[in-house]
Structure 1
Amino acid sequence: MNIDLIFKIASIGILLGVLHAVLDKAGKEEFAYITTLVGVVIVFSMVIGLISKLFDSIKTLFQLY
């Protein structure tokens, strides 16, 4: 597993946390929640790619394809 991916996910989380706090203090709660949702979708898409690679390697390992 790539350690870079963990750092990318952590940096996205930190950035979104700061952005959410700033927007929440500015009175833009709707935008804060939308940016948090967008960040979750981005991280989820990164993880989906890894899960796809995992299933491909399991198929290859057990010769299921």
Structure 2
Amino acid sequence: MDVDLIFKIAAVGILVAVLNLLLVRSGREEQAMMTTLAGLVVVLMMLVQQISDLFQLVKTLFGL
């Protein structure tokens, strides 16, 4: 696992947390929830790509 991936996930988390805080304080709870969900989807897409790469590595390792 790359350290860059951990930093990217942390950056998305910090950005989403700040946006969530700003939106909640301004009374826009629905947009805050959508921002949180969008951040979650972005992180999951990054993880799915890494898991796909892991499965490809295992396939080539065992010659499947």
Taking structure 1 as the reference length, the TM-score comes to: 0.94
Which runs of structure 2 are paired with 1:1-65 in the superposition (5 Å)? Answer: 1-64=1-64
Q: Distance in 2 between matches of 1:4 and 1:55?
A: 20
Q: Runs of 4 or more off by more than 6 Å in structure 1?
A: none
Q: For 2:32 and 2:17, locate their aligned partners in 1 and report how far apart those are by CA, in whole Å.
A: 9
How far apart are residue 62 of structure 1 and its match? 1.0
Q: Which runs of 5+ in 2 are unaligned?
A: none
Matched residue pairs, number? 64
Matched-pair identity in %: 53
How far off is 1:26 after superposition? 0.5
